[in-house]
Chain A
Amino acid sequence: MAAIAAEQAHSHDHHGPLHHQFEDLDQQNEAYLVGMWAFLVQEVMFFGALFLTYTLMRWQYPMDWYFAHNELDWKLAGFNTFNLLLSSFFAAMGVRSAQLKDRKGVLLWLGGVLLCCLVFLGIKYVEYALKWEHHLVPGPSFFYQGEANPGVAQMFFGLYFAMTGLHGIHVAVGLIVFGILWLMWYFRKTIVTEDYMPTEMCGLYWHFVDLVWIFLYPLFYLIPHP
């Protein structure tokens, strides 16, 4: 947004990572952090309504929920859980390297995050494709012949796709965000190399995405017999 910079150019020097509206980098970083946390609170409420819906449905149809969940592959998803946890570790290490201004380290760790992202989305794709083949995607082609009531099974899969899908979108956004971040580090953009805060904020976002999955995994894949 060149216009914003131009608008302020006469009145305030604009270079480096400091934006014109802040006094110093500390103030800017603190404002970023507050803003990011406010955003994450918003995200919690966003997913929260879905978790509430899930809770009520499962409470209402405990047996059907149990039977329907047998169609899901807990091993594949378990691997993905491990994969995401690993990526969170990479992200944390990436932030640490950014604080130490260790560009090589950042590129390495963030590369790891990107890789995990891709693996996660790949596995998710396989899972979704299998559901599609087995006619377990809600809609006109839905066909279920298990022990659960077919209508409730469709509700189960509806929520499954809604919640993991929304989470998947967040992972895809993470892929884009970390991709851009990685490129900025690669091309030595001062916005990221001089100030660790952008990297830190991406990390915060990523831990949140990870955390959502930590709840989703047991709720969908590990339902005990009621």
Chain B
Amino acid sequence: MSAVPATQAPAPKPKSYLENGHTVASWLLTGDHKRIAILYLISVSIFFLVGGIAAGMIRTELLLPKGVFLENDSYNKVFTLHGIVMIFFFLIPAIPAVLGNFLIPLMVGARDLAFPRLNLLSWYVYMAAGTLGVIVILLGGVDTGWTFYTPYSSLYSNSQVGLTIAAAFLAGFSSIFTGINFIATIHKMRAPGLTWFRLPLFVWAHYATSVIIILGTPVIAITLLLVGVERVFRIGIFSPELGGDPILFQHLFWFYSHPAVYIMILPAMGVISELISAFSRRPVFGYHFVAFSSLAIAGLGFLVWGHHMFVSGQSMYQGVVFSLISFLVAVPSAIKVFNWTATIYKGTVKLDTPMIYALGFIGLFLIGGLTGLYLSSMATDIHLHDTYFVVAHFHYVMVGGTIMGYLGGIHFWWPKMFGRMYPDNWGKLSAVIVFIGFNLTFMPQFVVGYLGMPRRYHYYYLQPEFQPYHIMSTLGSSVLGVGYFMPVLYLLWSLKYGKKVGDNPWGASGLEWETSSPPPTTNFLEMPIVTKEVYTYDAEKAEEEFEHRQELIEEVTG
């Protein structure tokens, strides 16, 4: 087979991005999107741990109707810490800044993002925000909840509101920088032949996410700034005592924070589209619909914020409109779920670790999304508002959706990032444990919330009958914790001992699989030219295999 003359040495394998410099400075001053993604991977993992510890404290406290070890004040601080860290420092950056950063240039066939320095700056700003966050914890924490509702946050709270606002403000700008970078890159740096409709759905989802980031994040930034101004100078803006308008705060807050939930879920949906198609070996069913549903979510997502304020004193007629538009926004989400299901149908499904996460995502997101509809019907929401039902709803979408998607994506692209494979059996086991632990944690919260357990309370001794649900939930959260910790161990293990794999271990389609694993610093040795449609899995072949398997099954079962 080897026809190469002995004198002509084979071309040396290009240095991978991991080998291009080993000093600390070569990491901390890098412009390489892949290295910045790794920096982000490490940092968001640390914050995930911090948020997770706070979650463990919350669940422990709720084991007993009278509480276990936290005072009112410290409980408030713990759940605030949990919310702020998880939302601003983990869920929002996790998929875009780690997977998006790593993959978008690869997927569009570019050497890097459009603005490498801005990308690095975004990480530094994120770290500055994180450092402020740690300082806040050391100085005693903050107790307003992640929602910073006025007038409590601006006039009454005696905790570190100012610094926390500064941290959230900075974290916001770090994601704005990422968003600007993605938009410019996706618009202008696609390889020749890579038309918009040949882009992987992962890229579409990140494009929609970036649009939301750019339109929404500045609003929360300025709103939090105004809370700070009101707190420091006592000028009435949001506090009725001073002539301000607290409902205005809620409008501005949710104008960002509802779209923010799509900043968290859309990238995960992008990941799931890739996984489903790769492990069913079929192109995503209704590609255009899935692509446009991302944009529809980005657009409609800006028109529904009032569903968080049904009982806040906004006009009832406003509530009706917000309720109807909230029903509408569930349509594009449903389109995605249906199309993924249709993709799997008659596909040659391979249940590798990433696929198990993806299937988990579909199930859990379905429940999370549907309960969102209960909450956006005004009549039911009056009963359910501020109960554990809401807590369960958003954990189903954020933990069951975003974190499942994130972990699925990490497992899928891990061999691309580091060139080594983790032990698949451990991966499958962890995925199943996460799924079980998750449901055990949050399913009881739907019930106890429906029965009337309010959120953000640290005791329930007037209703001791709630205890079994809380015990189940706490038990589930420890299972979930184990499920999350396992990947940390075997993924780290695999960095050194994992089996080396080729460029495309999954046999997946997409430009990122056409370069070496791990990729060289410039991603591709020569400019890729795209002549194929997206997701070129052979549908007919998949169908044949499917029928063949059906025959086998029939033979076996008689």
Contacts and interface: CB of A to CB of B under 8 A. Distances in A.
B290 to A, nearest CB: 24
A53 B214 contact: no
Interface residues of B, number: 56
A47 B116 CA distance: 27
Contacts of B216: 45
B243 A155 contact: yes
Interface stretch (B222-230, B271-279, B307-315, B416-424): B222-230
A154 B120 CA distance: 41
Interface string A40-79: 0111011111101100110011000000000000000000
Contact of A46 (B20, B221, B521, B527): B221
A4 B229 contact: no
Interface string A114-156: 0000000000000000000000001100000000000110110
A38 B235 contact: no
B483 interface: no
Interface residues of A, number: 46
Nearest to B23: A3
A178 B42 CA distance: 38
A20 B111 CA distance: 8
Contacts of A211: none
A35 interface: yes
Contacts, number: 147
Interface stretch (A23-31, A81-89, A183-191, A212-220): A23-31
Contacts of B381: none
B183 A38 contact: yes
Given A7-B32, A11-B520, A35 B114 contact: yes
Contacts of A45: 214-219
B242 interface: yes
A152 B245 CA distance: 12
B525 to A, nearest CB: 9
Interface string A189-209: 000000000000000000000
A42 B113 CA distance: 19
A12 interface: yes
Contacts of A159: 235, 237
B26 interface: yes
Given A31-B187, A159-B235, 16 more contacts: A1-B117, A3-B29, A7-B26, A8-B521, A12-B522, A31-B184, A34-B188, A45-B217, A49-B218, A49-B223, A52-B248, A52-B252, A53-B252, A57-B245, A155-B236, A158-B236
Interface of A: 1-4, 7-8, 11-12, 19-23, 27, 30-32, 34-35, 38-39, 41-43, 45-50, 52-53, 56-57, 60-61, 138-139, 151-152, 154-155, 157-159, 162
25 contacts: A1-B120, A2-B29, A11-B520, A19-B116, A21-B110, A21-B113, A21-B116, A30-B187, A34-B114, A34-B184, A34-B188, A35-B183, A41-B214, A41-B215, A42-B215, A43-B218, A45-B215, A45-B216, A46-B222, A52-B248, A139-B233, A151-B243, A155-B236, A159-B235, A159-B237
Interface of B: 20-21, 25-26, 29-32, 105, 110-118, 120, 176, 179-181, 183-185, 187-189, 210, 214-219, 221-223, 226, 229, 233-237, 242-245, 248, 252, 520-522, 527
